[in-house]
Amino acid sequence: MDIASLNEKYVLDGHIRFAEGNGGLPVAIINSQIAESEISLYGAQVLTYKPKGQQDVLWMSEKSMFEAGKAIRGGIPVCFPWFGPHPTDNQKPMHGFARLLNWEVSGTTVLANGAVELRLSLVDSLATKAIWPFSFRAEMIISIGACLEVILQYANTGNETFVCSNALHSYFQVSNINNISVNGLSGTNYYVGADKESLTKQTNPLLTIQNEENRRYIDHVADCIIDDTGYNRKIRVAKRGSKVTVVWNPWEGAKNFADMTPEGYKTMVCVEAVNAYNDIVNLAPGNSFSISTIISVE
């Protein structure tokens, strides 16, 4: 559906409209009395979230590629139907195909609390079945208000059970990586990077980022608080439907990414709601599953 058709059917005056974004990719633009946001229909990806009077809560790489077939670096990419590399074929796209496809708008509304809700949907196709042979219907429900709530829900619409992993790969903007700490992880075991053998327990109440970090916390459901003394704010990252939390910063490894500047790591940290490791989704025909992240500024 083109931009004119989207605006004809789904525009909400004073709340949400549709336009061409970077690279000509279609975006939903939300500008209410509570918050502002831009959401890419390509990948169903939240790009920005600005509560009134606040810096952007989400981080976007200065070199991010807004190009069909390539991932957008920043905001909240959707990882589905696998998280990380494909479990058996590393030629298939990293973090699945959901972030590399155009999603359809299925609804817009203003909620009773003043938040603006956008619904986007994705169903299986010949292209998806060529790399993942299952039938599904996925929906992203994104609510922009005093908090940002992002829900990924999907159903098995086929005749056989499928197993998948997923994530809401949230990038947060910070004043400087040296100014932050992450609370809410103490006492939790984690893997480092792709390691699935040796667990380490975090004993320090606060996690500070002092080098490259890629921690995958197992059996973790608590809220995380990103305390940023430079911006004098705390970002609360809550979640539902997930028992794995990933904290990532590439540190000087950022120079190895074509879509990041070498200094990009200094103003970002990822705190992600994930289903992977011992929390993989096993979905029988007719069943559905959802994972969400709820982000607020204190």
Question: Which residues, including other chains, have CB under 8 Å from residue 93's CB and lie 6 or more apart?
Answer: 86, 100, 131
Residue 169 is among the residues annotated as catalytic for this protein: yes
With beta carbons less than 8 A apart as the criterion, state whether 231 and 269 touch: no
Q: Tokens at residue 78, please? A: 């959707």
CA distances to 10, 39, 88, 289 from 105, in Å = 8, 11, 32, 20
Q: For residue 169, report the phi and psi dihedrals to the nearest 5 degrees.
A: -85, 70
Residue 272 is among the residues annotated as catalytic for this protein: yes
What is the CB neighbour count within 10 angstroms for residue 169?
24
Q: Which of 38, 149, 213, 272 is catalytic?
A: 272
Q: Which of 15, 95, 169, 220 is catalytic?
A: 169
Q: Tokens at residue 104, please? A: 């359809």
Whole-number Å distance between alpha carbons of 168 and 245: 10
Q: Which of the residues are catalytic?
A: 169, 272
